[in-house]
Amino acid sequence: MDRLPKLISELLSLKVDLIVATSSATARACKSATTTVPVVMLASANALGEGLVASLARPGGNITGMTLLAGPEIAGKQLELLHTIAPTAARIAFLTNPRNGSHAAFAAELATAGRTIGVQLQSVGAASPDQLDEAFSAIAGQRASALLVLSDAMFLGERRSIIRRSQAASIPTMYSQREFVDDGGLVSYGPSLIDMSRRGARQVDKILRGAKPGDIPVEQPTKFDFVVNIKTAKALGLTIPQSLLLGADDVIR
């Protein structure tokens, strides 16, 4: 993440016609570096809340694209699903990135949902890959019996490492993208990154055909994936309720 400003500068020196930003951090680096080269965000966390655009309907400036969050209330839904899968979990940890500007809203939503469900919540932070060991040590030290991993570009990039640590701790874990479950994670609920990328590509096409990014509305997720990995559930000794399996978009066996 620290290299992003330099990388964006190198791209601009190549006189590119457009930059595709794959995370909020990348979009912020682009916003700081240029006000003229069009930028299409594929998965910004909270484009309006982070000040990347003036509004979703008319973003203005040179940035448009997709914003990942339908709203922080999605965290409450994730917590509810995780508690249904692991109903005996009285203490649930959630993994945050202190450098992710959207996670404060998620934490507030989780606090409300936790009181409603009747579980204790533990916030554990990791701002870089080399802090993941410490984070999982804290989870074990507080004896959390389930884990929720918030949506974050660094976490997605480190998903195999996070999955490995979660499985080593035998802790049921809810993720925000199905890519985690495809790689062996237990369960995920969140916006489809594939669908968002396809929609972002259409915006790229519009701009390259002459449209101004400031006139193209920022789009929110319309497709959400709920994915369960039965093989991982069995390894953890869990039985996924049939009602959840029937409602899943995909069940990996």
The residues, any chain, with a CB within 8 Å of residue 40's CB and separated by 6 or more, are 18, 19, 20, 21, 63, 64, 65, 200, 203, 204, 207, 213
What is the pLDDT averaged over residues 153-167?
A: 95
Is the pLDDT at 70 greater than 70, yes or no?
no
> To which residue do tokens 């929609």 refer?
199
The residues, any chain, with a CB within 8 Å of residue 127's CB and separated by 6 or more, are 97, 98, 99
In the chain, ranges of CATH 3.40.50.2300 domains: 4-69+193-223, 73-191+225-252
CA distance 205 to 70: 24
pLDDT tens digits for range 83-108: 999 999 999 999 999 988 778 888 99
CATH 3.40.50.2300 fits 73-191+225-252, yes or no: yes
pLDDT tens digits for range 211-233: 999 999 999 988 899 999 999 99
- Which CATH architecture is the domain 4-69+193-223 placed in? 3-Layer(aba) Sandwich (3.40)
> To which residue do tokens 């594929």 refer?
42
Could you tell me the pTM of the whole model? 0.83
